[in-house]
Amino acid sequence: MRAAQPTATTRRLEAHLHRRARWRWPEIVFWVAALGAIVVLPSRAALINEILIAGLFALSLDLILGLTGIVSLGQAAFFGLGAYSAAILASKGFADPTLGLLFGAAIAAVLGLATAPLLLRGGDLTRLMVTLGVSLMLGELANRNGWLTGGADGLNFSMGKVLGLFPIGFTGQRNAALYSFAALFILFAVARRLAQSPFGLALAAIRENRLRAGALGIATSRRIVAIYTVSAAYAGAAGALLAETTQIVSLDLFDFHRSADVMLMLIIGGAGYLYGGIIGAAVFIVLRDVISAATPEYWEFWIGALLVVLVLIGRERIHDFAVRAASSLAPDAARGDAA
Binding site for other proteins (CB under 8 A): 20, 24, 26-27, 29-30, 33, 37, 41, 43-44, 46-50, 139-140, 143, 151-154, 156, 158, 169-171, 173, 242, 246-253, 255, 269-270, 272-273, 275-276, 279, 282-283, 286-287, 289-290, 292-293, 296-297, 299-300, 318-319, 322-323, 325-326, 333-338
What is the distance between the alpha carbons of residues 175 and 49, in angstroms, rounded to a whole number? 10
Task: Give the residue with the Cβ less far from other proteins, 179 or 228.
Answer: 179
Task: Give the residue with the Cβ less far from other proteins, 48 or 262.
Answer: 48
Task: Give the residue with the Cβ less far from other proteins, 21 or 215.
Answer: 21
Task: Give the residue with the Cβ less far from other proteins, 116 or 192.
Answer: 192
Least distance in angstroms from the C-beta of 181 to other proteins: 15
Task: Give the residue with the Cβ less far from other proteins, 213 or 251.
Answer: 251
Task: Give the residue with the Cβ less far from other proteins, 263 or 281.
Answer: 281
Task: Give the residue with the Cβ less far from other proteins, 114 or 311.
Answer: 311
Cβ neighbours of 78 (radius 10 Å):
37
Contact 108, 162 (CB under 8 A): no
Least distance in angstroms from the C-beta of 40 to other proteins: 8
Three-class SS of the chain:
CCCHHHHHHHHHHHHHHHHHHCCCHHHHHHHHHHHHHHHHCHHHHHHHHHHHHHHHHHHHHHHHHCCCCCCCCCHHHHHHHHHHHHHHHHHCCCCCHHHHHHHHHHHHHHHHHHHHHHHCCCCHHHHHHHHHHHHHHHHHHHHHCHHHHCHHHCEECCCCCECCCECCCHHHHHHHHHHHHHHHHHHHHHHHHHHHCHHHHHHHHHHHCHHHHHHCCCCHHHHHHHHHHHHHHHHHHHHHHHHHHHCEECHHHHCHHHHHHHHHHHHHHCCCCCHHHHHHHHHHHHHHHHHHHHCCCCHHHHHHHHHHHHHHHHHHHHHHHHHHHHHHHCHHHHHCCCC
Task: Give the residue with the Cβ less far from other proteins, 206 or 303.
Answer: 303
Least distance in angstroms from the C-beta of 67 to other proteins: 12
Least distance in angstroms from the C-beta of 94 to other proteins: 19
Least distance in angstroms from the C-beta of 211 to other proteins: 25
Least distance in angstroms from the C-beta of 139 to other proteins: 8
Least distance in angstroms from the C-beta of 212 to other proteins: 22
User: Which residue type sits at 20?
Assistant: R
Least distance in angstroms from the C-beta of 22 to other proteins: 10
Whole-number Cα distances in Å, 4 to 1, 225, 234: 5, 38, 44
